[in-house]
Every structure is written in structure tokens, then in C-alpha cells.
């Protein structure tokens, strides 16, 4: 089953959730005219469906392969990547000073969604480079920018993100990779990184690694980490002293090589500092925030793809009867429940992701309140989007019955692919910790308070949503006043509540926008049903998490650790 881009939905969201016309009113985004926006949405969908989607099964069945000469992708991937670069898709939201088109991130979000739906594993290589670009723009010296940005912006080179080491996963501060200054402005990098996505591949001539490492005598913890640009190929055309030692065998995203990277086996690995010494986490966070938004979006992408397949299957598979005649399973109430739930969850998570990218765009044109709101929402997009991805792909598999569990239909691949997204880019547990540990306390709680106030003002008629918003407010203040263990114990429940409240508010906004809508009637019918289902059934379900969001950590620590193994 191929991918059919949800063009109507994407346009509707850009218009009513992102409100892209407001953005186009700003000088920086003046080129994002309605005609251009429509053309990009249509073109991205066609490109993803036509060029990337046909490679999805090959990517899974054959996958990336390690060879002594480097990692190779299956036949067709190089050509598809070249088409992506030549089509200018990588340049969309790139900085105009370095060859980018300077269009809103919210528009690039649509493209990334399509690529992820078409081929999630492959799309990772496209997803990481924009973060490297962002990091260089905000923290790189003019010399580094000049040398590395232009080809990263076009996509002629790709970027990676190197944080993880065997002993340093969620605890990035535990990393041991070292960087020694050489005196000529460069550094010698030495160490091993694991789990590096697209750490090596044969799609481009060069790969620009962003590597976290420690200087000699750097303070322990995250305060002693610096960020380095470490290219596969040096500017003089020589290969740098780094290599991919092996790649992982894993549950899904087989098209994306997950590399063990060794830097400086011969003590000759050259890197350059990005930003200031010992300030690497700030530079890396610039990259990670971008990637967190896109990983949350991956949940939406894979949910959309899996859902489309489940709907097609449900409309064909005959089983049981209705009104005395053989029925296709789409006619059964419980299958309808699954299909509508998938629609509602996917649309809601998409609205949350698009809205947040629109807030980032507003932040980029100087709207400080939008910028801090995007900071608050980013962990919600990442965790909620990816949890939705897992739930929807699981439901899609369920709709297929036994045929979903066998590989033949492809439903299983979506489920396997989706499962990584709550883990990487900071596990969802870490997102929840970020929410209660840092984000809800932004400006002394004012950022959260403003969000709650806006939701309350705009969602007054939606009684169930109002209850959830009230609960979010009560839980939010209770968590802010609690000790750290109690905050963390409540964190996941609170994240789910707040993400559902924001998504519910955005679904209500879409429902209201349908009043003046004169487009495709089937789209409007489904939008109305999905929004109503979300507001009437999913919102109250999430309200049930209030008890957990208000609870302390006492129950969790009421038993000794040994009792878990009893
Ligand atoms: C396919 C794949 C691709 C990846 N790509 C990259 C990449 O490109 N670059 C890169 O640098 N890394 C990458 N990673 C690494 C990924 O980001 C880490 O796996 C992830 O951050 C979790 O770290 P960990 O695996 O060490 O798990 P751990 O940190 O050991 O976590 C295990 C469990 O404990 C929980 N936990 C840990 N610490 C805390 C805490 N303080 N509070 C609450 N809960 C906690 C976690 O939530 C998790 O449930 C990738 C991983 C995979 C599998």
C-alpha cells in the first residue's frame, strides 16, 4: 500500500492552526504567499509519495549495510537522496545567507512529515541536518559557518549528532570523549560514540559530525562539555581520522544506520570548537530542540502511514455480517472505534506539532512570548507525538488481525519503526522531567499560566476540555510547589494531560474553522467527527490521570528495591 499525502489536512492546519498568513505578513516570511504554500504542500506530498515511499519496504527488508569501506544504503536510495537535494527540498527553511530559502519552519514541517510517512528510516538523514545548521548559525564562528553551512543547507552534505556513549545515555554529562587543543585553533578528538544515526552512509561525499567532548581539566558533569564540528572529509580533501566500527541490528528503521563511531584511533582526528569551551550543551540544545520537534512529528508521520493502510484494509476485508449480508470489517462498531481513534489521535498530535513550529517561527521574528511557549511545548510534541505514533501503529496492526502480525502486509513494519521514537532524542521520561523540572517554571510559571489562560478563553463551550484545562492548572501549580521526587513522580501523567489539553484546544479551534469551510465535504465530515471524538472521548480519558499528577512519590518508594524482584 502506498502513501497518500494528507494535503487537504496539511493546508487546513497551516491556515487555521499555524495561521501562516499572519507569518507571511512579516518581512522575514513575506515569500510564504498562499500560492507558494499550496504549491509546496502539494509538491512535497508528490515527491515523498513518488520517490521515497516506493523504497520503504526495501529499506526495511534490506536496510543499511556495514562494509569495510563504509556503510551503504540499498539500491535506489542514493538516487532518491539526489532527487531530494536537486529538488531544493533541504533548503526550504534554511538561512537565506547560506543558500536557504528562509521560509517558515512550519512549512518545512509539512515536508518533513511527508518524508517520514513515506519512509521513516530514510527520513532520519533529512531530519538531523537542519539541527546541525541551526547549531552552527547560533553558535558557530563566521569561519565555520562559511566553510560548512552552504553544503549542509543544500543537503549536499549531511549532519549528525553525537552525544551518546556506552556509559552516557540520558546522562549526557557522563561522556568521556576527549578534545585536546592543538594551538592552531583546531582540536584533536578521541573517543567512541554509540547509536549515531547516519554516522556513515554513501549518500553524500561528506558528513559533518557534531560531537560532544570534554577538554582536559573540564569541570565534571554537563558544565564541562564542549561541542565540536568533526567532518568525515577535511577541507583539504583528506579523510579525517574517524570511522564507523559497526552498525546495530535493531527492531525497526532498518534504512537508518545506527553507528558505533570511533574518533581518533590514530590520534589524528581533527575537530573545531562550536561556540565557547564548556558551553557545548547550550549549542547542542539548539540542535536537540529542533530534532525533538521533528521526532515528535515522526510519530505523526508513521501514525498517518499506518492509519491509511488500516483504513484501506478495513474497507476490503470481509468478515461477519451486518443486516443479513456479508460485512466488510469497516462496518463493525469496534473497528470503526479503532479507525476514528486513529484519526483523532493523529490529527491532534499533528495540530500540536504544527502549532509549535508556528510558535518557533513567531519566536524567530521577535515574538518572545511565542518563543517561550515553543520551549514549553517542545517536550509535549516529542513525547505525545511519539506515544501517539506507537498507539496508532499498534491499532493499525490490530485492524489487520493476524495479517497485521505477519510481515506480508507491511503493518508490522510501521509498528516496529514507530517504537524507537519514544526512546531517542531524550526518552519520553526525560521529556516529562524536562517539562516539570524546567519548562513549567519558565518565567516563574507565567509561560504556563498564559497558555492556560488562552485555552480557557478560547475553549469555553467545550465543557470537558475546560475540566481538563482546570485540572492542568491545579496540577501544574501543585507540581511547581512540590519537591523534585514528587514532581518527577507526577511528570508523565502531567505531560499527557497538558499535551491532550493543548491538542484538544487546537482541535476545538479547527472545529470552529469548519463553519466557514467550503472545501471537500468528506474532509469536513471527518474533521468534525475526529475533533468531536477527541474532545468527547479522549479528553475525559486523560482527565483520569489527574490523580497520578497530584500524587506524591510515596507509593513508588513505599517498597524496597528488592521487592520488585520478589
Ligand atoms: C536507533 C537509535 C538511534 C539513535 N540515534 C542517536 C544519535 O543520532 N545520536 C546520539 O547521540 N544518540 C542516539 N541514540 C541514543 C538515544 O538518544 C539514547 O538511547 C537515549 O537517549 C536513551 O539513552 P540510553 O539508551 O542510554 O538509556 P538510559 O539512559 O539507560 O535509560 C534507560 C531508561 O531509564 C530512564 N532514565 C534514565 N535516566 C533517567 C532519569 N534521570 N530520570 C528518569 N528516568 C531515567 C529512561 O527514560 C529509560 O526509560 C539513538 C538510539 C537508538 C536506539
pLDDT one-digit tens code per residue, 290-319: 899 999 999 999 999 999 999 999 999 999
Minimum CA distance residue for ligand 1 atom 14: 195
Contacts for 449 with CB less than 8 Å, ≥ 6 apart: none
Q: Which three cell numbers stand for residue 393?
A: 501503529
CA 165 to chain CA centroid, Å, is: 22
Q: How far apart are CA 212 and CA 224, in angstroms?
A: 10
Counting ligand 1 atoms within 8 A of each CB, the residue from 195, 200, 249 with the most, and so the one to mutate, is 195
Pick the atom of ligand 1 nearest to 430's CA.
47
Q: Which three cell numbers stand for residue 341?
A: 481513534
Counting ligand 1 atoms within 8 A of each CB, the residue from 427, 437, 495, 557 with the most, and so the one to mutate, is 427
245-271 tens-digit pLDDT = 999 999 999 999 999 999 999 999 999
- 7 alpha carbon to ligand 1 midpoint, in Å? 34
Q: Are 399 and 329 in contact (CB under 8 A)?
A: yes
- 37 alpha carbon to ligand 1 midpoint, in Å? 36
Q: Is 35 exposed, middle or buried (0-12, 13-18, 19+ CB in 10 A)?
A: exposed
- 158 alpha carbon to ligand 1 midpoint, in Å? 23
- 169 alpha carbon to ligand 1 midpoint, in Å? 5
Q: Which three cell numbers stand for residue 514?
A: 469548519
Minimum CA distance residue for ligand 1 atom 32: 170
pLDDT at 1: 58
* Angle 542-545-546 from CA coordinates, rounded to 5°: 115
- 424 alpha carbon to ligand 1 midpoint, in Å? 6
Nearest alpha-carbon partner for 399 in 529, 303, 324: 303
Contacts for 250 with CB less than 8 Å, ≥ 6 apart: 258, 420
Pick the atom of ligand 1 nearest to 423's CA.
20
In 50-131, the DSSP E strands lie at 65-67, 70-72
Pick the atom of ligand 1 nearest to 427's CA.
47
The angle that helices 333-364 and 280-314 make with each other, rounded to 10 degrees, is: 150
Active site residues: 425
pLDDT at 285: 83
Minimum CA distance residue for ligand 1 atom 30: 169
- 193 alpha carbon to ligand 1 midpoint, in Å? 13
Q: Is 367 exposed, middle or buried (0-12, 13-18, 19+ CB in 10 A)?
A: middle
Q: Which segments of the chain have a pLDDT < 70?
A: 1
Minimum CA distance residue for ligand 1 atom 11: 163
Reported residue count of the chain is 566
Name the residue with cell 487546537. Answer: 506
Counting ligand 1 atoms within 8 A of each CB, the residue from 167, 170, 176, 421 with the most, and so the one to mutate, is 170
- C-alpha distances in Å from residue 318, one per residue of 170, 309, 341, 412, 518: 47, 16, 21, 21, 35
Pick the atom of ligand 1 nearest to 163's CA.
11
278 Ramachandran zone, left/alpha/beta (phi>0; psi -120 to 50): left
If you compute the radius of gyration of the chain from its CA atoms, what whole number of angstroms results?
Answer: 23
Pick the atom of ligand 1 nearest to 193's CA.
11
- 445 alpha carbon to ligand 1 midpoint, in Å? 28
Pick the atom of ligand 1 nearest to 164's CA.
11
- C-alpha distances in Å from residue 176, one per residue of 39, 166, 189, 197, 272: 47, 10, 11, 19, 18
Counting ligand 1 atoms within 8 A of each CB, the residue from 221, 419, 423, 491 with the most, and so the one to mutate, is 423
Q: Are 375 and 43 in contact (CB under 8 A)?
A: no
Nearest alpha-carbon partner for 362 in 29, 136, 12, 89: 29
- 172 alpha carbon to ligand 1 midpoint, in Å? 9
- 164 alpha carbon to ligand 1 midpoint, in Å? 8
Minimum CA distance residue for ligand 1 atom 50: 195
pLDDT at 90: 96
In 163-204, the DSSP E strands lie at 178-181, 187-197
Q: How far apart are CA 221 and CA 228, in angstroms?
A: 17
Q: How far apart are CA 247 and CA 71, in angstroms?
A: 8
Q: How far apart are CA 171 and CA 179, in angstroms?
A: 19
Q: Which residues pair with 229 in a beta bridge?
A: 210, 272
Minimum CA distance residue for ligand 1 atom 17: 424
Contacts for 551 with CB less than 8 Å, ≥ 6 apart: 489, 490
pLDDT at 347: 98
Query: Ligand 1 — pocket residues by CB below 6 A?
Result: 161-164, 169-170, 195-197, 250, 258, 420, 423-427, 429-430, 433
Minimum CA distance residue for ligand 1 atom 25: 169
Q: What is the DSSP letter of 424?
A: S
Pick the atom of ligand 1 nearest to 248's CA.
1
- 75 alpha carbon to ligand 1 midpoint, in Å? 31
Pick the atom of ligand 1 nearest to 128's CA.
8
Minimum CA distance residue for ligand 1 atom 4: 195
Amino acid at each position: 500500500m502506498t502513501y497518500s499525502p494528507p494535503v487537504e489536512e496539511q493546508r487546513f492546519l497551516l491556515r487555521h492552526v499555524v495561521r501562516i498568513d499572519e507569518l507571511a505578513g512579516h518581512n522575514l516570511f513575506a515569500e510564504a504567499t498562499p500560492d507558494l504554500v499550496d504549491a509546496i504542500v502539494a509538491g512535497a506530498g508528490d515527491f515523498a509519495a513518488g520517490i521515497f515511499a516506493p523504497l520503504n519496504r526495501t529499506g526495511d527488508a534490506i536496510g543499511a549495510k556495514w562494509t569495510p569501506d563504509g556503510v551503504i544504503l540499498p539500491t535506489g536510495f542514493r538516487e532518491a537522496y539526489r532527487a531530494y537535494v536537486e529538488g531544493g527540498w533541504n533548503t526550504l527553511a534554511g538561512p537565506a545567507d547560506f543558500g536557504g530559502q528562509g521560509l517558515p519552519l512550519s512549512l518545512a514541517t509539512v515536508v518533513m512529515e511527508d518524508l517520514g510517512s513515506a519512509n521513516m528510516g530514510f527520513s532520519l538523514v533529512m531530519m538531523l541536518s537542519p539541527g546541525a545548521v541551526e547549531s552552527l548559525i547560533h553558535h558557530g564562528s563566521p569561519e565555520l559557518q562559511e566553510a560548512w553551512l552552504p553544503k549542509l543547507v543544500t543537503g549536499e552534505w549531511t549532519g549528525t549528532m553525537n552525544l551518546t556513549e556506552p556509559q552516557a545515555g540520558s546522562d549526557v554529562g557522563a561522556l568521556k570523549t576527549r578534545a585536546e587543543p592543538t594551538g592552531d585553533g583546531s582540536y584533536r578528538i578521541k573517543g567512541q560514540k554509540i547509536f549515531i544515526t547516519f554516522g556513515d552512509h554513501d549518500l553524500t561525499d561528506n558528513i559533518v559530525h557534531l560531537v560532544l567532548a570534554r577538554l582536559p581539566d573540564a569541570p565534571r558533569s554537563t558544565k564541562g562539555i564542549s561541542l565540536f564540528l568533526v567532518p568525515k572529509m577535511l577541507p583539504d580533501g583528506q579523510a579525517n581520522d574517524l570511522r564507523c566500527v559497526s552498525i546495530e541490528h535493531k527492531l525497526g528503521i532498518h534504512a537508518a544506520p545506527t553507528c558505533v563511531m570511533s574518533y581518533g584511533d590514530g590520534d589524528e582526528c581533527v575537530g573545531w570548537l562550536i561556540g565557547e569551551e564548556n558551553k557545548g550543551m547550550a549549542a547542542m540544545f539548539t540542535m536537540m530542540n529542533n530534532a525533538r520537534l521533528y521526532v515528535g512529528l515522526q510519530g505523526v508521520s508513521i501514525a498517518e502511514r499506518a492509519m491509511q493502510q488500516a483504513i484501506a484494509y478495513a474497507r476490503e476485508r470481509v468478515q461477519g455480517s451486518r443486516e443479513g449480508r456479508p460485512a466488510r470489517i469497516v462496518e463493525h462498531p469496534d473497528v470503526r472505534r479503532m479507525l476514528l481513534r486513529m484519526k483523532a489521535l493523529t490529527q491532534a498530535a499533528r495540530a500540536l506539532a504544527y502549532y509549535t513550529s508556528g510558535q518557533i517561527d513567531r519566536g524567530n521574528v521577535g515574538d518572545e512570548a511565542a518563543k517561550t511557549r515553543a520551549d514549553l511545548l517542545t517536550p509535549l510534541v516529542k513525547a505525545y507525538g511519539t506515544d501517539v505514533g506507537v498507539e496508532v501503529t499498534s491499532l493499525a496492526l490490530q485492524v489487520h488481525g493476524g495479517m497485521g502480525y505477519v510481515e506480508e502486509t507491511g503493518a508490522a513494519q510501521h509498528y516496529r519503526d514507530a517504537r524507537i521514537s519514544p526512546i531517542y532524542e531524550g526518552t519520553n521520561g526525560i521529556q516529562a522531567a524536562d517539562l516539570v523540572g524546567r519548562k513549567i517554571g519558565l518565567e516563574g510559571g507565567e509561560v504556563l499560566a498564559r497558555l492556560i489562560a488562552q485555552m480557557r478563553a478560547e475553549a469555553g463551550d467545550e465543557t470537558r476540555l475546560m475540566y481538563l484545562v482546570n485540572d492542568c492548572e491545579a496540577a501544574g501549580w501543585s507540581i511547581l510547589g512540590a519537591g523534585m521526587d514528587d514532581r518527577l513522580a507526577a511528570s508523565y501523567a502531567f505531560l499527557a494531560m497538558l499535551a491532550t489539553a493543548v491538542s484538544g484546544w487546537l482541535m476545538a479551534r479547527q472545529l470552529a474553522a469548519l463553519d466557514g469551510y467550503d472545501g471537500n465535504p468528506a474532509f469536513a465530515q471527518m474533521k468534525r467527527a475526529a475533533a468531536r471524538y477527541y474532545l468527547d472521548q479522549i479528553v475525559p480519558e486523560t482527565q483520569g490521570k489527574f490523580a497520578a499528577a497530584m500524587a506524591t512519590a510515596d507509593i513508588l518508594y513505599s517498597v524496597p528495591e528488592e521487592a520488585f524482584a520478589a
